[in-house]
Amino acid sequence: MTGKKRLKKIILVLLATGIAYLFLVPLLFMIFTSFKTLSESIASSELLPRLWTVENYLSILSDTVNSPILRWFANTVIVTAAGTAATVVVDCFAAYALARLDLPGKKKILVLIVWVMSIPGIVTLFPAFYLFRQFSLIDTFAPLILPYTANVTGVYLIYNFLVDFPTSLEEAAKVDGAGVFRIFTVIVLPCIRPIILTLAFVTFLGIYNDYLWPSLVVTSNEMKTVTVGIASLVLGANFVNPGLMMAATVFAVVPALLLFMFLNKYIVRGETNVGIK
């Protein structure tokens, strides 16, 4: 490697490090502030705490009346897992049916999917809210899960991948007597696993981080999700304690961060496959 190329590489690495640091500063500030005392978290502008303490974590875990963080987290896990699983299953079957089966009105369905994708999600919030209220389902898991059971964007993503996906293996399986369901589960699903994992992760983040919809359909403290619960803490009597707020936020951020680290290679592979199909 010549000196010019080495210098260029060093400059690019330094530039990437600087950009990464800018994105990491809010995360580091959140983590370090959660270990600060009340007085230091309010008055100090330093990144690292002078006196490390876990009092904020103990406080938020012990107060099961005003901040049942574990209950909020359990609610979030139930809603996110159920919504993500339902979205992946429905989208996969719908996309495969559109790509492989001879359905009547297939072109009209595809046009409808594209049209629905152009509708802002916020437009459907209040009609959905009044519908769930009409059936007396407010403040239950039903309105927190059911709206996430399908995603037209996911259907369109998987459909576009399957359209150009070679059908030779599927045709060979048909000759051997395999049915549509077996072909889909045994042959197609393993081949599109990166796409499915990408869809699952994006859906997971969308449900996990959603605040507006849960805040509309949840009224009791016990049914709150993590995002709604943390927002209620910020607006409540503890808003003057930045350390406590940051400790609660760490509880919310860590699961999503760990999941991203675990699925990162599959997400990149899925996006690459979509780009070069």
To 10 degrees, what angle do helices 242-276 and 193-208 make?
A: 150
Give CA separation, 233 vs 67, 144, 174, 217, 240, in Å. 7, 21, 58, 18, 10
Give the pLDDT of the chain (277 residues) as one tens digit per residue.
566 777 788 888 888 888 877 878 888 888 888 888 888 887 777 778 888 888 888 888 887 777 788 889 899 999 999 999 999 999 998 888 888 887 788 788 888 888 888 888 788 888 889 999 999 889 899 999 998 887 888 888 888 888 877 777 777 877 777 777 888 888 888 888 888 888 888 898 889 988 889 999 998 888 999 888 888 877 655 566 788 888 888 888 888 788 777 766 665 555 445 444 4
Which two structure tokens, joined as six digits, stand for 85? Answer: 């699983």
Residue-level pLDDT at 214:
92
- CATH numbers and ranges of domains, the chain: 68-276 (1.10.3720.10)
Residue-level pLDDT at 82:
93
Let me know: does 241 contact 38? Beta carbons within 8 Å.
Answer: yes
- String of DSSP letters for the chain: --HHHHHHHHHHHHHHHHHHHHHHHHHHHHHHHTTS-HHHHHH---SS-SS---HHHHHHHH-TTT--HHHHHHHHHHHHHHHHHHHHHHHHHHHHHHHHS--TTHHHHHHHHHHHHTS-GGGGHHHHHHHHHHTT-TTSSHHHHGGGS--HHHHHHHHHHHHTS--HHHHHHHHTT--HHHIIIIIIHHHTHHHHHHHHHHHHHHHHT--HHHHHH--SGGG--HHHHHHHHHHSTTTT-HHHHHHHHHHHHHHHHHHHHHHHHHHHHHHHHHHH-
Residue-level pLDDT at 79:
94
Residue-level pLDDT at 265:
65
Residue-level pLDDT at 157:
86
C-alpha distance across the termini of the chain, in Å: 34
Could you count the other beta carbons within 10 Å of the beta carbon of residue 219? 10
pLDDT tens-digit map of 145-193: 998 887 888 888 888 888 877 777 777 877 777 777 888 888 888 888 8
* pTM, two decimal places: 0.79
Residue-level pLDDT at 102:
79
